[in-house]
Structure 1
Amino acid sequence: MNLSLPRTPQGVYRLSVSTFYFLQGLVFASWACRIPDIKSALGMNDADLGSVLFAVPVGQMSAMALSGYLVGRFGSRKILMASSVFYPAVLVCLGLVSSFWELAGGLFLFGVAANLTNISVNTQGVGVERLYQCSIMARFHGLWSLAGFFGALLGAFMVDWNVSTKTHFLAIFLICMAILAVFSRFLLPRDARRSSSQSGGMFRSMDAYVLLIGLIAFGSMVSEGTMFDWSGVYFESVVQPGPGLVQTGYVAFMSTMALGRFTADRMVMRFGAVRVLRASGILIAAGLLVAVLFPVLWSATLGFLLVGLGTSSIVPLCYSMAGKSKKMI
């Protein structure tokens, strides 16, 4: 088997950046698929879980300006390498928590690490997309979703084998360190230069176009977050599919999300970005309605499949559009 890197510089960079999207998705999915187990281990009810899960977006939002500043100051390569250690290390800490407040603090740091990784890896992705001069961002995010699908299946096996969250998360950390050791040397060495009007400091102003892209991405991320954080709990508490099927909804969501992202670039080139975004919104709404109105195994799974397909293209498309925009001032 030939495991050599692609011969072209673009191919080398693309392969390397792809592995870091996979790393990011694997870490997040490993946490998401064990939420019901951590909830049970800490004796939390749904209200407690909802409160503590809020620490993740708080951490992400708190690190937003800092992430942009650090990437601009030190470059996405250095920040991605550092955050690729920090992110799975925090995951390991989540497997060691023994109280509500320890979990809340760990999830806040998890959100910070997720944002640092997200901003730096997408900066690398935009840079590689510019080298190819065509739309490939959705396929990068497809690797994230594929990792999520793989992470969910691995998590289901870990639960079935009665592997503790601590051991599970430590295994994920070791996988991530192997990825970092092999592929970090092949990341883009520098980011695209910005004009002086785009340099600024930690904060920059933006026009209505970029703001609209951000709002669309935010709406999709809310839907994704709902699936990540509550799909297992929803199936366990409401659908009640029986032993071994609690992760069905999450796996269904991640499978169509991955499938949609590997085909989204083609859809955008054929139908245009606006039509793809509109169709995606309709699929998300339809999927959520089906899953909530008909909370049985087959219909809830169908609903989660639709939500996964709907959310698949929105965030990568928004990143790509923002990366190509000249309207940041």
Structure 2
Amino acid sequence: MSPRQLLTGGRHPVTRLYPLTVFFAADGVLFASWIVRIPEIKNQVGASATALGLALLCMTVSSAASMYFAGGLCERLGTRTVLVASFPLVCAGLVTPALARSVVALGAILFVFGAIYGVLLVALNSAAVEIESTSGRAIMSPMHGLWSVGGLVGAVIGGLLAAHLTAVEHFAVVAVAGVLVAVGFARPMLLTGADRPVRSEGTAAAAAKEHEPVRRAARTPISLAVVLLGVVALCTAYGEGAIGDWVALHLREDLGAAAGVAAYGFGVYSVAIATGRLTGGRLIERLGETWVLSGGAVLAAAGVLVTAWAGTLAVAFAGLLAVGLGLANMFPVAIARAGAIGGPRGVGLASTIGNTGMLAGPPLIGFLADQVGLRTALSTVAVTALVAAVIGLVQRSLRVRGDGSAEPLAAEPAEPANQG
């Protein structure tokens, strides 16, 4: 296939799953590689905790802003093209924070890096939405699960390399490996056609009926539907940010856990999220998106209340397990639905709104902790989770009214595709 044909193929919807799984996992490795070296970068630029926080904020703000425009870029150039082009740019950008010698330079570098990274995230999620639309398989949650697995691998590799390589050398090794992945899987990603047979004619007809409300929504202004899904993503990101940044402190200060034990608590939560996402596809196909989203939100709300008000570490750990399993599929389902309604622009808008939850959550928890205590502050995650649950049920109700029939609790099992 000629380069011209590859470029043309980049404008077609993504249908090949296996190269996308590699890109998701590799992105998790890249992001974790950056995270584990933040303390070293902080010392390198001589930043205080506040200054480092402001520098990191530059990355968060620019990535959220670029997500808003990335959807249009994917529509204009094709999701495949944007994904394949942005991934090596992110790899190259990974090295640049290690070159900073001042907090101001670090902030400027992270602002640019964050903008590129936001484009990649929208391209990855838009690609997953396109595969879901083509194949009828719920793959968004498993893709996010693979990202989490990649993050675990990246963190382990980073820990092993920290004693032997400087941050620049570590980032350079990971960046080169990432570029090789991009080069090796660019062609499969840009090729048209599916890497496995898509739905049969009968299944496609049933799917067309199932998704008719989505198509009706696409012919009307989609901003409200996508904004509501963005709010679900925001509520989820608020919870993830709060647990990620504050639960270890809660376990230590409120329950008297040693530092190592508190770290294990976050590990329980992280494993629960990864497990929930890797198995989320089957769960969604069995129960339907609404019940996975709203049911997960209720489970997360209960889990965070148990964790926040637990009297023993064992009970708190059980709560963290429930929080992880509950939150696991909420963000992926919200982004998948937004993409089904609004395409890449829907993914971009919902992601932008969702990122504000990650941005605002940790500092808001800190402020509330000073005013009313950390236990009560963490309990606000239960409130936002229940808001997400209500939105999920409301959206289901609106789809039922538009279609005249209820969403099935479980998808009808499709006839196995002929692999021969």
- TM-score of the superposition, structure 2-length normalised? 0.62
Aligned to 2:182: 180
Report the Cα offset of residue 158 of structure 1: 2.8
Q: CA deviation at 1:176?
A: 0.8
> Distance between the aligned counterparts of 2:248 and 2:231, measured in 1?
27
Q: Does 1:316 align with 2:319?
A: no
1:186 Cα offset (Å):
0.9
In structure 1, what is the Cα distance between the partners aligned to 2:29 and 2:143? 14
C-alpha change, 1:247 and 1:225, in structure 2 (3 Å) is same
- Separation in 1 of the partners of 2:304 and 2:65? 29
Structure 1 gaps, min length 5: 1-9
Residues 100-143 of structure 1, C-alpha deviation per residue, up to 9 Å, x if partnerless? Answer: 11221122223212211111122221222223212122112211
Tell me: CA distance 1:74–1:189, structure 2 relative to 1, closer, same or farther (3 Å).
Answer: farther
C-alpha distance in 1, partners of 2:128/2:248? 33
What stretches of structure 2 of length at least 5 have no aligned partner?
Answer: 1-12, 194-214, 347-420
Q: 2:94 is matched with which residue? A: 91
Aligned partners of 1:56 and 1:107 also within 8 Å? yes
Q: Provide the residue aligned with 1:219 in structure 2.
A: 235
> CA separation in 2, counterparts of 1:162 and 1:26?
18
Contact 1:55 1:108 in 2 (8 A): yes
1:24 aligns with 2:42: no
Offset of 1:189 from its aligned partner?
Answer: 4.7
Of the structure 1 ranges 147-156 and 278-287, higher mean CA displacement relative to structure 2 is found in 278-287
Q: Distance in 1 between matches of 2:143 and 2:59?
A: 23
**For each residue in 1:208-242, what CA deviation from the matched residue of structure 2 results, as whole angstroms up to 9, or x when unmatched?**
322211111122234444566x479959x977626
Contact 1:75 1:190 in 2 (8 A): no
| Offset at residue 92 of structure 1 (A) | 0.8
Matching residue's letter, 2:330:
I
Identify which of 281, 292, 300 aligns with 1:276.
Answer: 292
Counterpart code for 1:136: I
Determine the structure 2 residue equivalent to 1:164: 166
Between the aligned partners of 1:42 and 1:289, the Cα distance in structure 2 is 39
What is the letter of the counterpart of residue 241 of structure 1?
A: A
How far apart are the structure 2 equivalents of 1:38 and 1:168? Answer: 12
Match of 2:18 among 9, 15, 18: 15
Q: What is the CA distance between 1:302 and its match in structure 2?
A: 6.1
Sort the Cα spacing of 1:188 and 1:258 in 2 relative to 1 into closer, same or farther, 3 A: farther
- 2:150 matched to 1:147? yes
Tell me the amino acid that sits aligned with residue 90 of structure 1: G
Contact 2:25–2:149 (CA<8 Å) still a contact in 1? yes
Q: Tell me, yes or no, if structure 1 residue 109 matches structure 2 residue 112.
A: yes
Contact 1:76 1:120 in 2 (8 A): yes
Q: 1:175 to 1:217 in 2, by over 3 A?
A: same
1:166 Cα deviation after fit: 1.6
Take 1:290 and 1:44, find their aligned partners in 2: how far apart are those partners?
37
From 47, 50, 55, give the equivalent of 1:47: 50
Indicate conservation of the 8 Å contact 2:289/2:333, yes or no. yes
1:242-257 matches, cutoff 5 A: 251-257=267-273
Which stretch shifts more, 169-178 or 302-311?
302-311
Q: CA, structure 1 residues 310+46, in 2 after alignment: closer, same or farther (shift >3 Å)?
A: farther
Structure 1 segment 189-204 matched on structure 2, within 5 A: 189=191
TM-score (norm: length of structure 1)? 0.78
Which of 134, 139, 156 is 1:136 aligned to? 139
How far apart, in 2, do the equivalents of 1:267 and 1:105 lie? 42
Structure 2: which amino acid aligns with 1:26?
A: V
The CA distance in 2 between the partners of 1:268 and 1:298, in whole Å, is 30
Residues 279/168 of structure 1: CA separation in 2 closer, same or farther (3 Å cut): farther
